[in-house]
Amino acid sequence: MITGTPGVGKHTVAESLSNFLDNASVFDINKIIFSENLLTISSHDAEGLEVDTDRTRDHFSLILSEGKSQNSIIVGHLAPYVIDSKLVDLVIILRRSPYELKKIYDERSYSPSKTKDNMNAEILGFISYDSSKTFEFSKLSELINSINILPSLSAQKIITMISNEKLRSFGEVDWLSLVQNDPDMLEYLVKSHLN
């Protein structure tokens, strides 16, 4: 499974990993949620929709317990909330420098609030934390994925982690110490707590 904050390169690395694994199936959580209409009325916004995590978890449990899902890749930032730990062997949390992410969000024309939420999540490591609450520690590994790293190199690192658990590392990525003296970056954290 490959998860992480939006913009860290999950889908690109998953495609490359699939090539290394004889074109293993890639299950894109977001695409499946929309194609199967696994949404419900938002409890926060009367006019909006949100993911029905219970239905999505049940749907993925059904898909992943079928024999044809062996040696497949699950990809999406919602993975810690909708995938049963028993159904995965390895959880890769891709991480990316907040400075690189900011550029990516600007290129994608994210709204200020969406940028703020995602920057906050990456700096504080929300996906890593939530993954540690869902999956066994032995299945977890964080991997820094820079825009300067070819997706195939990240995929090759994941391949080595599949067979050698000693190459997995978790809890060592610390963006907060990187940005602690940068008022522009810390602003994402301050605003997030005031809103």
Digit-coded pLDDT (tens) for 5-48? 999 999 999 999 999 999 999 999 999 999 999 999 877 765 67
How far is it, in rounded angstroms, from Cα 116 to Cα 110? 9
- Looking at the chain, the whole-number percentage of residues with pLDDT higher than 90 is 85
How far is it, in rounded angstroms, from Cα 125 to Cα 170? 11
Predicted local distance difference test score (pLDDT) of residue 47: 63
pTM over the 0.75 mark: yes
Q: Cα angle vertex 2, ends 155, 145, to 5°? A: 55
